[in-house]
């Protein structure tokens, strides 16, 4: 009798998450063999020496004895009350603690929010490039991603007309990632207002991934989507992972706004799915009031001479001085989405480049096509290392690209 291999879900073939994929596995092999790598694939502040603010740590420690029992499936009442007050200050309409859901990071909540809405064949409008978890969660919940372009020529901002042209009778939601991962684009109010009008016209749920809402540079200003949406259904996502450098705590939330009669059934669906996973991590939830009501600790990092600001400056300058690279300066978030230009871009393969960069120069980046774009001449890096280390990274990148250029020249001569 021959044993048969276990069958896996067919839709997994269409799911990509190269941020922690094949290249990351190869990186672990190299490290196990003694290689020291500069790993720029994950926006993980704790891995680069950042710590969650002390007052957040103290809030968890003080409440640890109260953290043993399950809490309400939507989250600790005191945490949801703090979130309600915070979002009221942002002029989020109709916000109450009952409309707030706390999860094990925004990642879990993205999955729950799509599962509560999608039937087989329903469509979700996603940016290209996107954060690939959105595509994966859409596919794994039997939906179909439909991508709207955010091009470098338009500073990685979308064209509202193209978005509207993509809408079909099966379109259910419009996802907006602002500030954007991977590009660092920050959406202006006028653009968001146009997107709200499209959602109203076509009865689409607005889904605003705003996890980087406090990470902005220069004179960029964050515009929350829900206040612009008003009574129209909108889900706003946030959390402690990035602004408060607490990725490992897995504390995220989503706020459901809009007119009550339009969101009632959806609210009940979210509540049911939240109950099925019992509740989110309890200790971390005690840090939410401290995070929202305490001192602003991200501003010193993102303002001039702050660590993130200076790392961003180093990336901008390195790309400006490169023979082969282009960059739309990120206005927010923790990444640079770097383009390869000129002659070597013509037949450039971003996966091969990322592999060569790791093997030959000990630097790990994410290929741009991993973010669901049709082109292969981009890569993403995180801005989390110190500025000097990023300068060294771009010396190595330029060295590899020069070798590519020399090979191309030799082929032309031959």
What residue ranges define each of the domains in the chain, with the CATH number in brackets? 10-51+300-413 (3.90.1150.10), 54-293 (3.40.640.10)
pLDDT of residue 413: 66
Residue 81 has pLDDT above 60, yes or no: yes
pLDDT in tens, 34-78: 999 999 998 899 999 999 999 999 999 999 999 999 999 999 999
| Predicted TM-score (pTM) of this structure | 0.94
Q: What is the chain's Cα-based Rg?
A: 22
Q: How sure is the predictor about 414, in pLDDT bands with cuts at 50, 70 and 90?
A: low
Please tell me the distance from the alpha carbon of residue 107 to that of residue 253, in angstroms, as a whole number: 10
Over range 82-90, report the average pLDDT: 97
pLDDT of residue 411: 72
Residue 15 has pLDDT above 80, yes or no: no
Query: What is the DSSP-derived secondary structure letter of residue 414?
Result: -
> In sequence order, what DSSP letters do the residues of 6-55 get, joined into one string?
PP--GGGGG---GGGSHHHHHHHHHHHTT---EE-SS--GGGGT----HH
Q: How sure is the predictor about 232, in pLDDT bands with cuts at 50, 70 and 90?
A: very high
pLDDT in tens, 307-323: 999 999 999 999 999 99
- State what percent of residues in the chain have pLDDT above 70: 98
Q: How sure is the predictor about 203, in pLDDT bands with cuts at 50, 70 and 90?
A: very high
pLDDT of residue 87: 97
State how far Cα 214 lies from the chain centre.
Answer: 13
Angle between helix 22-32 and helix 350-361 axes, rounded to 10 deg: 10
Please tell me the distance from the alpha carbon of residue 13 to that of residue 44, in angstroms, as a whole number: 27
Q: How sure is the predictor about 21, in pLDDT bands with cuts at 50, 70 and 90?
A: confident
At 86, list the tokens.
Answer: 């915070």
Is residue 237 exposed (0-12), middle (13-18) or buried (19+ Cβ within 10 Å)? Answer: buried
Mean pLDDT of the chain: 94
């Amino acid at each position: 009798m021959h044993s048969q291999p276990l069958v896996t879900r067919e839709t997994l073939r269409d799911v990509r998450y190269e941020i922690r994929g094949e290249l990351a596995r190869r990186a672990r092999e190299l490290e196990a063999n003694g290689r020291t790598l500069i790993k720029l694939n994950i926006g993980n502040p704790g891995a680069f020496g950042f710590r969650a603010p002390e007052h957040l740590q103290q809030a968890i420690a003080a409440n640890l004895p109260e953290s043993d029992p399950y809490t309400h499936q939507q989250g600790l009442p005191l945490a949801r009350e703090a979130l309600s007050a915070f979002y009221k200050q942002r002029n989020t309409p109709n916000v109450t603690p009952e409309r707030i859901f706390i999860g094990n990071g925004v990642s879990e909540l993205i999955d729950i929010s799509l599962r509560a809405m999608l039937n087989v064949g329903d469509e979700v409008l996603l940016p290209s490039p996107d954060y690939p978890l959105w595509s994966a969660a859409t596919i794994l919940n039997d939906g179909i991603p439909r991508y709207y372009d955010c091009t470098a020529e338009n500073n990685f901002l979308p064209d509202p007309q193209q978005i509207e042209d993509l809408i079909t009778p099966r379109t259910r939601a419009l996802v907006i990632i602002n500030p954007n991962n991977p590009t660092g684009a920050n959406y202006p109010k006028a653009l968001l207002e146009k997107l709200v009008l499209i959602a109203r016209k076509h009865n689409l749920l607005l889904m605003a991934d705003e996890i980087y809402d406090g990470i902005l540079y220069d004179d960029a200003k964050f515009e929350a989507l829900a206040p612009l949406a008003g009574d129209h259904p909108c889900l706003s996502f946030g959390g402690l992972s990035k602004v408060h450098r607490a990725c490992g705590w897995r504390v995220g939330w989503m706020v459901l706004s809009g007119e009550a009669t339009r969101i009632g059934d959806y609210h009940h669906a979210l509540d049911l799915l939240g109950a099925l996973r019992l509740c989110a991590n309890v200790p971390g939830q005690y840090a939410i009031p401290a995070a929202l009501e305490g001192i602003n600790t991200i501003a010193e990092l993102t303002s001039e001479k702050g660590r993130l600001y200076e790392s961003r400056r180093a990336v901008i300058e390195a790309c400006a001085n490169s023979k082969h690279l282009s960059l739309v300066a990120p206005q927010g978030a923790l990444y640079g989405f770097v383009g390869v230009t000129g002659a070597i871009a013509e037949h450039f393969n971003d996966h091969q480049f990322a592999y060569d960069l790791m093997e030959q120069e000990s630097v790990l980046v994410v290929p741009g096509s991993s973010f669901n774009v049709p082109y292969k001449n981009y890569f993403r890096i995180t801005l989390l290392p110190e500025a000097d280390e990023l300068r060294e990274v771009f010396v190595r990148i330029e060295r590899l690209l020069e070798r590519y250029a020399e090979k191309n020249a030799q082929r032309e001569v031959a």
